[in-house]
Amino acid sequence: METKIYSTDQQALQEAADQIKKGELIAFPTETVYGLGADATNEEAIQKIYQAKGRPSDNPLIVHLADKNQISEFVKEIPPLAAKLIDEFMPGPFTIILESNGKIAPAVTAGLDTIAIRIPNHSIGRAFIRETKLPIAAPSANISGKPSPTKAEHVADDLTGRIAGIIYGGATGVGVESTVVDGTGEIPVILRPGGITLEKIEAIAGIVDSPAIKETEKPKAPGMKYNHYEPDAPMFLIDGDDAFFQEQLNHFSNQGKKVAVIASDELASELDANHLYKCGSRNNLSEIAVHLYEALRYFKKSDVDMILMETFPDRGIGQAIMNRLSKAAADRIEQE
């Protein structure tokens, strides 16, 4: 299949939208990562998403809409607390799970009676969705299990020849996916941490819960069950102070390993490393989030044997960062 590159002018967005209406797949930018879009009411088109990504069929998809007033078209009801969260965080890096009314293709919900809905806060992404006049099912536009794409070039690396087109909309802003919240109960449940922090949700909802999922259960939201975000070379999280990180770097280097390092600006300035990616200041975790997936894609297996990765505080946007890193890492090495 030829994968066409689309610009962001009105005519190009119309052409890309026409491909969606024909049942094809188009990658498009959002403020979090690039999404791989298909008509959420077209079962055959949704199956193409699973095939292009190599995605497990029990991993549900998020439905992207252009405006809040569209949500009621696809759900049975919007409970009062869910309505407050929608008003506060949409459009934005926030996904709400509600009871589906059955208008969306079954493959989108992976057989569940709930639907995940999001309204991206990205002018190009929303203009594209609006142009289709359809609900758009869209996971991240990458091969399943690999780091999510924050640039159109990342999408092209993974999916050229597998999809109909890519809208080149520049780099994304948030860098990690949306926060997914189950809004069907009296207490909101964070199923996936993301661009909207726990603290912000607590400020609106008060008590917030977070579940664990067993391997035998169907995930209610993407990112809950399977390994994700894995770089080409095995990555190890180094949990300790800066001196401990250098000790581990020396240890593996002395074994003849070609070791790459992903580190904050502060740690990078202290290390003696030949292969280094600086992902921002540890004092600004939002900056770390923006560069996270670019960092995980930077080193290729042919260039290095392994990657050592700095860890970060598990609070605020750091909760989303560490969630992604824990799913990407081969192991975690902790200082005693």
332 is in an annotated binding site: no
Other residues' Cβ atoms within 10 Å of the Cβ of residue 261: 25
Is 291 annotated as a binding-site member? no
- Say how far apart CA 84 and CA 87 lie, in whole Å: 5
Does the annotation flag 140 for ligand binding? yes
Q: Is 59 annotated as a binding residue?
A: yes
Instruction: List phi, psi (to 5°) of 258.
Output: -90, 105
- Helix pair angle (198-205, 80-89), 10° resolution: 130
Report the chain's C-alpha Rg in angstroms.
20
The half-sphere exposure of 255 on its side-chain side, counting CA atoms within 13 A, is 9
Dihedral, CA of residue 262, residue 227, residue 293 and residue 202, to nearest 10: -100
Tell whether 148 is in a known binding site: yes
Entry field: residues in the chain: 336
Is 275 within any annotated ligand binding site? no
Cβ-based neighbour number of residue 24 at 10 Å? 20
The response to whether 95 counts as a known ligand-binding position is no
Residues at the annotated binding site for ATP? 55, 59, 114, 118, 140, 148, 192, 229
Binding-site entries: 32, 55, 59, 64, 114, 118, 138, 140, 148, 178, 192, 229
Known binding-site residue numbers for L-threonine: 32, 64, 138, 178
